[in-house]
A = this chain, B = another copy of it.
């Protein structure tokens, strides 16, 4: 199994098969290189030591929240966070904790997306 196949397995496990396929489909005819690069990123996240997938998904949703204009990615990675075993309360508290550092708008945007994702499951 090469790095891309291994990355695909990780991506499917984290964000779900459907979302993973949707990423591939959306990039297939315009920028397949980006699809391949996300596979490598997931493969690396899995194989590198020091942090586990739960810690990594917490870091990911924090980086997305703090950066702003990342609603599509936040939607995917809030799903990912739940899929790797992070609880709804932990996700929400992660966003609440960010309030001191980024202010209400970024936090309320993220909470609103979390609510939408939680309601769909």
Residues in A lying within 8 Å of B, measured CB to CB:
26-27, 30-31, 33-34, 37-38, 41, 45, 48-51, 55-56, 58-60, 62-70, 72-73, 87, 89-90, 92-109, 111-112, 114-115, 118
Contacts and interface: CB of A to CB of B under 8 A. Distances in A.
A26 B68 CA distance: 20
A45 B67 CA distance: 22
Contact of A67 (B55, B60, B68): B68
A94 B102 CA distance: 17
Given A50-B93, A98-B63, A105 B31 contact: no
A112 B26 contact: yes
Contacts of A66: 62-67
B99 A69 contact: no
Contacts of A112: 26, 72
Given A59-B58, A60-B97, A100-B104, A31 B111 contact: yes
